[in-house]
Amino acid sequence: MIPLIVAAFSAVVSVVSSIGPAVVGFCTNVLPKILPLLEKGIEVLRVVENIANTVAQVIGIFNGNETAENIGDRAIQAAEQGVKPDQYGTHTEYMNALREFKLNPEKTTELTDIQKIASGLAVAGRGLDEKFGTPEGTMGKLWWLAAAMPEYFVANKLIEYAKTGQDVTSIFNYFEGKLGTGASLRVEDKLVELDKSMTPDQEEKSIRSQIYAAAEAVQKHDQ
């Protein structure tokens, strides 16, 4: 990364981590893979945000008018006042506290869009982890997939991945190329079935070709 990007990355990680221990996994495992998008401009990050917004809204983490950017703004400002996820019994309680939090418009202006979006992505990922019983930091990887190939990892597909719950880890491992041959084939077959359920008219050969291309994009993005 060029110096400007490195500086921006550090600033974003610092702000997101201020939300508290609940987003440490996101800062460690997901942000380093998403923030290189800054080299291509904020527009690419906006694409990821839009996908995440839809996923979070459909699953019920965000309300219909909420976005990663405005939730992230609230999460950052609330954390400065001691309002953090670990203080609440459930993520829903935390989200309600964020919605009731009074924003400082001047602070909103001072924060960058990237800081707000990244924080909102972390909050959304944590909500999905609680919803589907996955370890902290797991579901945030959905946004990483979207960053690697947004034309393939569309919102509807990521929603179906999330619904697999604990099995979503095997999906991530497949796209990262971390599975052995047998396990990889089993997960691939599941991915084919999932795609067929969403697009019944597609031929299996075409579906598999798209899956291979997506896996290649994720592994290239992970280098």
Q: What is the pLDDT of residue 4?
A: 45
**In this predicted model, what pLDDT tens digit does every residue of 33-82 receive, in sequence order?**
887 776 776 788 899 999 999 999 999 999 989 999 999 999 999 999 99
Q: What is the pLDDT of residue 171?
A: 96
Q: Which domain holds residue 121?
A: 3-221
**What is the pTM (predicted TM-score) of this model?**
0.93
Q: What is the pLDDT of residue 85?
A: 93
Query: Residues in the chain with pLDDT < 50?
Result: 1-4
Q: What is the pLDDT of residue 222?
A: 67
Tokens of residue 204, six digits: 């299996």
Number of compact structural domains in the chain: 1
Residue owning tokens 């999460």:
75
Q: What is the pLDDT of residue 154?
A: 96
Asked if residues 143 and 30 have their Cβ atoms less than 8 Å apart, the reply is yes
Q: How far apart, in whole angstroms, are the C-alpha atoms of residue 87 and residue 129?
A: 17
Q: What is the pLDDT of residue 2?
A: 43
* Exposed e or buried b per residue across 176-201, where buried means at least 16 C-beta atoms within 10 angstroms of its C-beta: beebeeeebeebbeebbebbeeeeee
Q: How far apart, in whole angstroms, are the C-alpha atoms of residue 15 and residue 215?
A: 31
Exposed, middle or buried: residue 36 (CB in 10 Å: 0-12, 13-18, 19+)? middle
Q: What is the pLDDT of residue 7?
A: 61
Q: What is the pLDDT of residue 32?
A: 84
Q: What is the pLDDT of residue 89?
A: 93
Residue type, position 87, single letter: Q
* Exposed e or buried b per residue across 103-125, where buried means at least 16 C-beta atoms within 10 angstroms of its C-beta: eeeeeeeebeebbbbbbbbbbbb
